Structure 1
């Protein structure tokens, strides 16, 4: 039961209907909008909500569901049902295109993957549109709404003959009008025209006897007459006959097509009901997107648990104006059935009450509700509302009498499945008596286990709610310092009207305010002052909570930055150590090779003095170059002066020296060698001297391997394959040894040595050596497609 009759107007649902009607694509959908009604069956409401939710998902996914040709052809079907009638071409065009839309929609939805759009699939489960019917319609009428010339062979022949005769007629009349112009009988710009379905030419009235023919008409001024020349009488007659024959054939075709359609009318009516429902559901889904509505969890019993709910019409209005709508959280359950909202005037009490009524009504009409995720709803069997001025001159009822009439209805009809909404409970009469009657009514409603939202200013009702199970106080928050409502509903405490405070702060004379305070008594003043202090403390607590939350987030951010920097430095440390070890290995290798080369040179020269002296000189030169690559002593620290871009700096407690690239706030970018690092400014100190730059060695061993200290470049240039085919065993072994050493030093995971098959000597030499190397984990032949046992693969540790 919905009470009163103008319930929808009072809560604003009539405006929601108007918006839904505007969103519909056709009268078919608007019919369902007009028939939409309050439902109390859980299964039916759940199904309607699911349909709307699925269509909303389609819209959000920009799915290519057909949204054109939503024609209402009900009148055409009614006419076609009468034997002996036939439909015209525009009617068949609308039927064809809308049936195609129905068929495409069915195919699109039914073709969705299993588990998706199940409610929409069920909606069209028993709907059929015969393909043969669409084909028959398409054979006669094309997609532009024009009859096809080849609808039947006879129609095609008549059309062809008609075009031929019209061509002959045009040529002949052009010849006649040309002669008439040359004689001056017709205006210079005259052209053939149609009068009474016959082709005629305009002739100046004074020359009308010069041209033989039939006068069909004259101009408004009488200066021109329209004559059908005698020479084209027969051609016009032939064309007229062809037109009549064409129309007769067309009527015959349309009659036959209407007879075909008549056999499908029952299933077509169901199909168009489906099209109307699709239009209606699409409109609800579009409205849901506008107000950011969701499908709540729906219970079979009365229940409200809304998160961040808003009044949809207020939300749309504020959205258009660029304003924010304050949402509300609401909980009505078996233990907390009635919410008593108090607070100052214009604080949002009535809006909160209307929001409850409108949103719940929308829900039980099968519409998604403008609330947050995880919201829950339930099913009420009745909704009663008492709001606004109900003064009735006809029934000789005052406003208060009208309120009492509504209260009578509520206490006699409402039960534990009813939702009662009362605005400004108890007002309209003497406060003490009004408050007493309101408290008695509230007690009766509570005894009946009614659910409800009630707004009031009466203190006795607030006190009653405070001490009575099933009823809970709620307050509309108010910034009493700035005299501004916050429009926030707070559950669990009563609100104050702040009447004395508002009167004092807007400048009402002090003696009036003091007199009013004395009249209401100290208890009332103390009560309102306590509520005011609670509100102030709450606002201060919320402010401190926000500040604490902001500080906590900042701390988490700083901790994360510190951890990221620590991880970065650890990774950098590992990279630097790895590169240093690589450089050391290369340096050691180069030194050993140089020493061995010097010894060999001395032996070959049989210790001749000059050659030995020269070899030692080369070794000393090499040693000096090696010393240049050694780390320099720690730079001298400078403690004074602010850091600036370009300074040489070091990390406090570290010997590594880099150049300061830039400073951003409390962090700095420092280039350590070729590595850019982000560090805190507080961890840096300036040093004297220049940052040493790595130098490139220009020496070459002669076997293709350059001595360089840039390990990264060496890794980039290294090729993991060595080809020794055709080499002597001794030279091949030397190359394999050098190649393997460098691969191990650079940390290569695998190397490949191509030695060929031949008689197997090179393969044996290579594998014997590799078996002796500890860093080699395993050996094997290449796959057959890449050389087989002509190449050896070595996996390095």
Structure 2
């Protein structure tokens, strides 16, 4: 049971229904949208949700599922069911294209993995499309809805003769018109036109006797008549006969194909029911992806266990403004059945209640809902709503009377599997009595074990919730310091209305606020102050926790960077030591060999002075090679040595490195240096003034690089790849011109490394297609050449896959 009768309008589901309807591709799906209603059968709801979830996955994955030609052909099928009737060309075209969409959808599920999309695959059972019927439809009309010239030999012959006669007629009448223009009998801009199905020429009325023929019409002013020259009578008659013959043959073909359609009507109706369901389910999936909806874990019993639930309409509205809706998380089960939400006005209480009602209603209508992963939901048998002003002149009901009428319905019909939604519970009458009646009604609903979400300002209801198990308080968070709502639902404590604080903020005189505080009583003030203090302490604690968490993240990052740097230094140290040891071994080996060689040379010469001198000189030369050269002292232009500390703006280099950079800043023992536009921080002691020759050499290389870059500026391969169009159209060109164009096109495609290109050459007599394909197959870089898909041009285009 859904109460009241205008539930959908009050809760906002009517807008959801409109969005669903807009997402449909055809009236087929819209008819299902109109029939959407609340369901309480577990197996049915689960199946509908599963279908929508699977289709949403298809859309998100970008798989090639047919989304065109969802035609509603009910009118055509009804016409075809009548004996002796025949379909129009438009009907044949729409049936053909929609059957193609159905076949593609069936093929999609056949080709998908065995366990993929089980709920959608179940819809394909008993859905068949006869191949011979599709072939007959394909033979009669093309993909643009035009009758094919070769639909039958007779139709082809008549069409050929008709074109020939029309060409002869056009030539003859153009000749007559030129002569008439030269004689001044027709207006200067006159052209042949059609009147009564016959080709005529416009003639100035005063010259109508100059040309023999039949007048078919005249202009509104009477100054021009439309005349059929006598010399074209026979041609016009022949054309009329051929048109009649063409029409007779077309009707024969249409009648034959209509008879085939009539024979398959039962299977066609099942197929179009399948197409309508696909359109409807697709619309549900489109809406789900738009609002970020998914399928929660479903239970047979009443249950709400939602994480980060969002009101879909509010979500889309704020999203359009570049904002985000604040999600709410809540849980209703057997131990916690009724949630009592309190808090200030405009704090989000009503939105929270509406969100619960709308999402639960959507769920039990088979729609996915915008909640986070791991959310759970159950099914209710009834949903009751009391919201807004229902004052009725016709029924002589005041606002409060209408609320009481609703309470009466809740008492009579609500039960253990009912969800009750009440907004601003108890308002509309004297506060003390209204609060008392609301508390009594709440107690009765609690005894009936209903589930519910109720919003209120009454303190006695908050106290009632604290004292009774099964009812839990909830508060809409508020910033007491700034007096601004946070739109966050916190379960477990009541909320304050902050009435006096808000009055103080908007500037109500202090004496009025103090008087109001006196009137309301110290206990109420103390209660609200306590709630306000708790809210402020919670806000401060959250801010503190956020700061601590931020510092912890920074500290964690610093520790990770330190650990990584330490590990890098250790690894570098070990590498340097290993390298140094290896070089030292080689150096020692070379030194020992040189010493042994010198001793051997001295021995062989028996310590001859000259030989010993030469040997020692060789040893000294070897030693000099091993001794590192002292660093050169660089002089300034005036000859003096540049000494002293490094200055900002100087050219500097890392000790032992060739890279030269600019010193940007000095901070204590560290410096900021720019190497080639890349800024880095290094220790000051690691920097030195570079060799001037090194600076000149680097400047020279940079200049050479800039020149080379300028020379290659015209060859911007990235830009060419961005500008490259993967499809080329050569229809209407001569074979020689088309081949030249294709050669250049394929050269660019191969050079830029394109994986696939398409050439549109049309059908015609097939010569252009053959010339192009013969050339393309000679290219070593071509992997395959094939026809385009039927719905995108078929054999009128070639798809070339490159290696």
d(CA) in 2 for partners of 1:574, 1:372: 51
Measure how far apart 1:629 and its partner are. 8.4
Is the counterpart of residue 74 in structure 1 residue 74 in structure 2? Answer: yes
d(CA) in 2 for partners of 1:159, 1:231: 23
Is the counterpart of residue 467 in structure 1 residue 479 in structure 2? Answer: no
d(CA) in 2 for partners of 1:536, 1:436: 30
DSSP-derived class of the 2:495 partner: coil
The 10-residue stretch of structure 1 (155-164 or 513-522) with the greater mean CA deviation from structure 2: 513-522
d(CA) in 1 for partners of 2:3, 2:507: 43
Q: What residue in structure 1 maps to residue 616 of structure 2?
A: 616
d(CA) in 1 for partners of 2:686, 2:92: 92
Q: What residue in structure 1 maps to residue 7 of structure 2?
A: 7
Residue-pair matches, total: 670
Q: What residue in structure 2 maps to residue 791 of structure 1?
A: none
d(CA) in 1 for partners of 2:688, 2:511: 83
Measure how far apart 1:50 and its partner are. 1.8
Q: What residue in structure 2 maps to residue 316 of structure 1?
A: 316
d(CA) in 1 for partners of 2:193, 2:34: 51
Q: Is the 8 A contact 2:671 2:684 kept in 1?
A: no
Measure how far apart 1:188 and its partner are. 3.5
Q: Which has the larger radius of gyration?
A: 1
Taking the TM superposition and a 5 Å limit, the aligned residue runs for 1:676-695 are: 686=685
Distance 1:186 1:662, change over 3 A: closer
d(CA) in 1 for partners of 2:107, 2:86: 30
d(CA) in 1 for partners of 2:647, 2:189: 93
Measure how far apart 1:81 and its partner are. 0.9
d(CA) in 1 for partners of 2:163, 2:686: 101
Q: What residue in structure 2 maps to residue 346 of structure 1?
A: 346
DSSP-derived class of the 1:159 partner: helix
The 10-residue stretch of structure 1 (7-16 or 661-670) with the greater mean CA deviation from structure 2: 661-670
Measure how far apart 1:660 and its partner are. 12
DSSP-derived class of the 1:306 partner: strand
Taking the TM superposition and a 5 Å limit, the aligned residue runs for 1:290-329 are: 290-329=290-329
Measure how far apart 1:211 and its partner are. 2.1
Q: What residue in structure 2 maps to residue 214 of structure 1?
A: 214
Measure how far apart 1:301 and its partner are. 1.2
Measure how far apart 1:136 and its partner are. 0.8
Measure how far apart 1:665 and its partner are. 8.3
DSSP-derived class of the 2:49 partner: helix
Q: What residue in structure 2 maps to residue 261 of structure 1?
A: 261
d(CA) in 1 for partners of 2:385, 2:314: 19
d(CA) in 2 for partners of 1:262, 1:500: 77
Distance 1:492 1:599, change over 3 A: same
DSSP-derived class of the 1:338 partner: strand
Distance 1:193 1:506, change over 3 A: closer
Q: Is the 8 A contact 2:384 2:420 kept in 1?
A: yes
Q: What residue in structure 1 maps to residue 126 of structure 2?
A: 126
Measure how far apart 1:686 and its partner are. 4.6
Q: What residue in structure 1 maps to residue 764 of structure 2?
A: none
Q: What residue in structure 1 maps to residue 626 of structure 2?
A: 626
d(CA) in 2 for partners of 1:52, 1:330: 25
CA offset digits 1:191-249 (Å, max 9, x no partner)? 32211111222222222223222221112121222222222222222211111111011
Measure how far apart 1:648 and its partner are. 10
d(CA) in 2 for partners of 1:689, 1:622: 30
Q: What residue in structure 1 maps to residue 398 of structure 2?
A: 398
Taking the TM superposition and a 5 Å limit, the aligned residue runs for 1:264-275 are: 264-275=264-275
Distance 1:669 1:29, change over 3 A: farther
Measure how far apart 1:317 and its partner are. 0.9
Q: Is the 8 A contact 1:669 1:677 kept in 2?
A: no
The 10-residue stretch of structure 1 (315-324 or 660-669) with the greater mean CA deviation from structure 2: 660-669
Q: Is the 8 A contact 1:155 1:246 kept in 2?
A: yes
Q: What residue in structure 2 maps to residue 202 of structure 1?
A: 202
DSSP-derived class of the 2:294 partner: coil
Q: What residue in structure 2 maps to residue 727 of structure 1?
A: none
Measure how far apart 1:607 and its partner are. 4.2
DSSP-derived class of the 1:210 partner: coil
DSSP-derived class of the 2:528 partner: helix
Measure how far apart 1:467 and its partner are. 1.0
Distance 1:131 1:602, change over 3 A: farther
Measure how far apart 1:641 and its partner are. 9.8
List runs of 5+ in structure 1 lacking aligned partners: 632-639, 651-658, 693-797
Is the counterpart of residue 493 in structure 1 residue 489 in structure 2? Answer: no
CA offset digits 1:372-415 (Å, max 9, x no partner)? 22221111111110000011111111111111111111122111
Q: What residue in structure 2 maps to residue 454 of structure 1?
A: 454
What is the TM-score with the length of structure 2 in the denominator?
Answer: 0.79
DSSP-derived class of the 1:388 partner: coil
Is the counterpart of residue 153 in structure 1 residue 153 in structure 2? Answer: yes
DSSP-derived class of the 1:209 partner: coil
Q: What residue in structure 1 maps to residue 731 of structure 2?
A: none
Q: Is the 8 A contact 1:202 1:227 kept in 2?
A: yes
Distance 1:354 1:599, change over 3 A: same
Q: Is the 8 A contact 2:40 2:379 kept in 1?
A: yes
Q: Is the 8 A contact 1:649 1:686 kept in 2?
A: no
Q: Is the 8 A contact 2:309 2:327 kept in 1?
A: yes
Measure how far apart 1:687 and its partner are. 9.0
d(CA) in 1 for partners of 2:193, 2:335: 86
The 10-residue stretch of structure 1 (317-326 or 6-15) with the greater mean CA deviation from structure 2: 317-326
How large is the Cα RMSD of the aligned pairs?
Answer: 2.9
Distance 1:82 1:647, change over 3 A: closer
d(CA) in 2 for partners of 1:552, 1:424: 43
Q: Is the 8 A contact 2:669 2:684 kept in 1?
A: no
d(CA) in 2 for partners of 1:63, 1:120: 15
Q: What residue in structure 2 maps to residue 794 of structure 1?
A: none
Measure how far apart 1:666 and its partner are. 10
Q: Is the 8 A contact 2:504 2:513 kept in 1?
A: yes
Measure how far apart 1:64 and its partner are. 2.0
Q: What residue in structure 1 maps to residue 101 of structure 2?
A: 101
Distance 1:662 1:207, change over 3 A: closer
Measure how far apart 1:52 and its partner are. 1.6
d(CA) in 1 for partners of 2:646, 2:614: 53
d(CA) in 1 for partners of 2:20, 2:131: 32
d(CA) in 1 for partners of 2:688, 2:190: 103
Q: Is the 8 A contact 1:353 1:454 kept in 2?
A: yes
Q: Is the 8 A contact 1:643 1:686 kept in 2?
A: no
CA offset digits 1:739-762 (Å, max 9, x no partner)? xxxxxxxxxxxxxxxxxxxxxxxx
Measure how far apart 1:619 and its partner are. 1.3
d(CA) in 1 for partners of 2:214, 2:538: 99
d(CA) in 2 for partners of 1:368, 1:406: 29
DSSP-derived class of the 1:272 partner: helix
Q: What residue in structure 1 maps to residue 372 of structure 2?
A: 372
d(CA) in 1 for partners of 2:337, 2:360: 15
Measure how far apart 1:332 and its partner are. 0.8
Is the counterpart of residue 586 in structure 1 residue 586 in structure 2? Answer: yes
- List structure 1 runs of 4+ shifted beyond 4 angstroms: 640-650, 659-671, 676-679, 684-692
Distance 1:295 1:643, change over 3 A: farther
Q: Is the 8 A contact 1:667 1:678 kept in 2?
A: no
